[in-house]
Copies of this chain bind each other. A is one copy, B any other.
Amino acid sequence: MSIAALQQTGDAVRRGPGRPRDEDLEEQILTGALALIDEGEPVTVRRLVERSGVSRAAIYRRWPSMTTLVAAALDVGRTVPPDIALDDGDLRDAVMGTLVGGRSVSAAGYSEERFRQRIRLAMGDRELQTAYWASHVSRRRVPLERAIAHGIERGILRPELDPTTCCDLLAGVVYYQLVVRGEEMSDPLVWRRCQDAFDIAWRGMLADRG
Contact = CB atoms under 8 A, between A and B. Distances in A.
Interface of A: 40, 116-117, 119-120, 122-124, 126, 129-130, 133, 137, 161-162, 164-166, 168-169, 171-177, 179-182, 193, 196-197, 199-205
Given A122-B182, A162-B196, A169 B168 contact: no
B196 A165 contact: yes
B200 A166 contact: yes
Listed residue (A126, A173, A177, A202) with the most chain B CB atoms within 10 angstroms of its CB: A173
Contacts of A137: 180
A129 B161 CA distance: 34
A208 B94 CA distance: 25
Kindly report how many copies of this chain are found in the complex they form together: 2
A186 B204 CA distance: 26
Contacts of A129: 182
A115 B204 CA distance: 30
Contact of A169 (B179, B180, B181, B197): B197
B168 A176 contact: yes
Q: Which 8 A-B pairs have the closest CB atoms?
A: A172-B172, A204-B204, A129-B182, A203-B204, A172-B176, A120-B123, A200-B204, A169-B197
A169 B171 contact: no
Given A123-B179, A162-B193, A171-B180, 10 more contacts: A120-B120, A137-B180, A161-B200, A165-B197, A168-B197, A172-B172, A172-B176, A201-B201, A202-B204, A204-B204
A175 B182 CA distance: 13
A33 B181 CA distance: 23
A144 to B, nearest CB: 13
